[in-house]
Amino acid sequence: MERTMELKIAGEPYAGGFSCGATMCRSSAESFTAAPQGPGKTVYRRPDGLRVTVSVRNAGGAERIRTEFTNGSAGDVTLEMLASVALKNVAADRIHRLQSFWSAEGRLRTETVEELHLERSWSGAGVRFEKFGNTGSMPVRKYFPFLALENSKTGEFTGLLLCVGGSWQIEILRKEDDTLSVSGGLADGDFGQWEKTLAPGESFLAPEAILAVGKSLEDVCHRLVSAQEPAISPEDTGMGVVFNEFCSTWSKPDLKKVKEMCDVLAGRGVRYMVIDSGWYGHDNWWECVGDWEVNEERFPGGMKPAADYIRSRGMVPGLWFEPEAVGPGCRYYNDPTHLLKKNGVPLTVGGRRFWDMEDPWVREYLGKKVIGLVREGGFGYVKIDYNDSIGVGVDGAESRGEGLRRKIEASREFFRLLAREIPGLVIENCSSGGHRLTPAFMELSSQGSFSDAHETLAIPIIAANLHRVVRPDQSQIWAVLRAGDSDDRLFYTLCAAFLGRMCLSGDVCGLDAHRWEIVDRAIAFYNGAAEIIKNGMTVRLTRTGSGYNDPRGSQIVVRAYKNRALAVVHRFRDSAMPEGVLPENARIIDSFGSARGDFTAQAWLYDL
């Protein structure tokens, strides 16, 4: 395997091999000459002054790659494609990807080179290619920006993860021989309507990419995850349990209900109590985003009394926002002045519109309405949601794709502004659950919502899937508790929360003493496993059967740290207990639940 670079400059020839319109690789890059500059840095130059600098640094057993294009020529240059990472001569015969849709995130898809129809042609003349990715402002839609290449003969894996916040692509190519070329980065001019024009002396930095090599899929994914560098709040360095009232009030919270829930939760080891959507506007929370005016009927005197009461009961108060969106009930909905536009008119998606996050007026407005309310209310936790995609691009730049990229960067800057303005604030990244679970947003957050699959049978499956791309200590897994839940249902729900950061919701005021005994026991077990969840490595992740809505078979996840391990088993329909759950020499420290039949679960902590 060799590192290289890929780019395409507008006006220059496209590569042949029947590839034009499908890939821009092997076009302009062929005219550059590589000049290594020492460890971790290579500069690719051309006589006209154009250059591409690829810098590599080690991080958590992987490499983080930065690629920068500089226009050193005498005239403007327009890029149609600039890859964040590019490799050639990769020997592999199996391809692993992670598919993702709303409430069904991270499904592993594995295919052979032959199944992808990437076998070399008989003469090596025609390019074979597989190009996949996503366009829009929800980067985890259809696929994660992830790829793992397996060489089954040597047992070696090569993995990459793109740190993108919007449109992206990954390409796998084969032409002359039996090795593969791979590249990934921003979606190009064909795929994402992206072009970027640079004047003489200007530079453009592509999103970072993470590259790792390992001896198994679990190994290479662990390295990709360990290389991520999230901005964890100093107030959130532990594994504090979250309670979010969304599945308790279904967007109709009020001060009385908040107080009742706090009284029940107090003293049970819950660190954060989050008030979700519906605290503002009128009854339709979806329509009212954008104004951020407190609903005084629900919260007399504003949000501070609620935050104060939460703190008085020993928890950190949290509040939900969707700062980038403008609903039809917002007074600015029909004023196009500060909204995103496409073809000169406000972009409307499912009845919603969007602020132009680059607009100074918008930044000042949100500074008062969002940051000001959080600060003045005394909230220590904020949930930033985002509930639709703005599509392939918007007005405001030399191309729609570049317009999208700039608006996404402005949204990311708002995350940074929140952290700067309110030191110690815990930020949760949410996008209808898991649509923004990439390092571009997870590295600006303490936690991230794993999914909107709040009460589905697929929760443990999704939670396990995300171990491959998200740090489990950041992955907030919902455990919705119902007053009528059986013991087995509680075990099933709560064991899933051991696969990440525990987030409780539901009928906490309606649980009887027996059910609370189970929940309290689960919190104690979770606290005992917290160090492994946070610092360990997932060494086993296997599932039999398929399906999310009606899962069958069973699943086991084993995570180890130092001389201790956590094993979590979930059984689905037509299941059997997985073999070899615990090693023969395991000394069990603690266990929770009972995996005694279909739709049951159990977890063990043990010494190795």
The pLDDT score that the predictor gives to residue 488 is 98
| pLDDT confidence tier of residue 124, bands split at 50, 70 and 90 | confident
Average pLDDT rounded to a whole number, residues 438-454: 98
Residues 6+ apart with CB under 8 A from 440: 139, 163, 164, 165, 207, 408, 412
Residues 6+ apart with CB under 8 A from 515: 481, 483, 485, 490
Class of domain 241-530: alpha beta
| pLDDT confidence tier of residue 203, bands split at 50, 70 and 90 | very high
Residues 6+ apart with CB under 8 A from 416: 444
| pLDDT confidence tier of residue 493, bands split at 50, 70 and 90 | very high
Average pLDDT rounded to a whole number, residues 401-405: 98
pLDDT at 266 over 90: yes
Q: CA-based angle 532:534:536, to the nearest 5?
A: 50
Burial class (CB in 10 A: 0-12, 13-18, 19+), 177: exposed
pLDDT tens-digit readout, 74-123: 999 999 999 999 999 999 999 999 999 999 999 999 999 999 999 999 99
Q: Where in the chain are the domains?
A: 2-226, 241-530
The pLDDT score that the predictor gives to residue 283 is 81
Strands (E), 379-494: 381-384, 426-429, 447-449, 475-481
Average pLDDT rounded to a whole number, residues 138-163: 98
Place of tokens 């392939």: 392
pLDDT tens-digit readout, 2-12: 999 999 999 99
pLDDT tens-digit readout, 301-325: 999 999 999 999 999 999 999 999 9
pLDDT at 38 over 90: no
C-alpha 490/C-alpha 459 separation (Å) is 13
C-alpha Rg value of the chain to the nearest Å: 25
The pLDDT score that the predictor gives to residue 354 is 98
By percentage, how much of the chain surpasses pLDDT 70? Answer: 100
pLDDT at 209 over 90: yes
| pLDDT confidence tier of residue 243, bands split at 50, 70 and 90 | very high
pLDDT at 29 over 90: yes
pLDDT at 591 over 90: yes
Average pLDDT rounded to a whole number, residues 181-193: 98
| pLDDT confidence tier of residue 541, bands split at 50, 70 and 90 | very high
Residues 6+ apart with CB under 8 A from 58: 64
Looking at domain 2-226, what is its CATH homologous superfamily? Answer: alpha-galactosidase from lactobacil brevis (2.70.98.60)
Average pLDDT rounded to a whole number, residues 537-545: 96
pLDDT tens-digit readout, 46-84: 999 999 999 999 998 999 999 999 999 999 999 999 999
The pLDDT score that the predictor gives to residue 218 is 98
Average pLDDT, the chain: 97
Q: Which amino acid is at 423?
A: P
pLDDT at 176 over 90: no
